[in-house]
Amino acid sequence: MNHVVPACAIHLATAAGSLVFSGDTTRSEAFVSALNAIADLRHLIIDTSFENALVDIAQASKHHWPDSLAAELQGLSVGPEVWITHLKPGNESAIMNELRAAAPDWEWRRCCRGR
């Protein structure tokens, strides 16, 4: 993954399909290529930590913000359900609303405890 400290993604493959959980990250062509190589990718859990207004902090810390994740997903040839994680406390609703506005064709899901 593309982060200020080492981070990774995990690919879990089952007979029912695959799930990828990304560590902290921002844009990565290598990650998009790896995702596109998983024909049965059903779920993608990915970091979107900051609102668009906090793009400078997001870029410095190498985390996604809604516009960057929407741009990254345009490179996918697969169509997984996208689950958002690592939202900064207090900003969750704003981040999810900005994701819906940035890429309205995607169904955005927020990872929550117990889900």
Q: Which domain holds residue 54?
A: 9-110
Would residue 46 count as lying in a domain? yes
Task: Examine residue 100 and state whether it is found in any structural domain, yes or no.
Answer: yes
pLDDT at 32 over 70: yes
Domain count of the fold of the chain: 1
Asked if residue 51 is part of any domain, the answer here is yes
- In whole numbers, what is the pLDDT of the chain averaged over residues? 92
Give me the pLDDT at residue 2, please.
77
- Reply yes or no on whether the pLDDT at 114 is more than 80: no
User: Which secondary-structure segment (H or E) carries 29?
Assistant: helix 29-36
Average pLDDT over residues 80-90: 92
Two tokens at 80?
Answer: 């997984």
Tell whether 115 is covered by a domain: no
- Residue 46 burial (CB count, 10 A): 25
Q: pLDDT tens digits for 44-54?
A: 999 999 999 99
Residue 115, pLDDT above cutoff 70 = no
Q: What is the CATH number of the domain that holds 16?
A: 3.60.15.10
Tell me: pLDDT of 1 over 70. yes
Q: Which residues contact residue 7 at a Cβ distance below 8 angstroms, ignoring those fewer than 6 apart?
A: 1, 22, 23, 24, 25
What pLDDT is stored for residue 108 in this prediction? Answer: 93
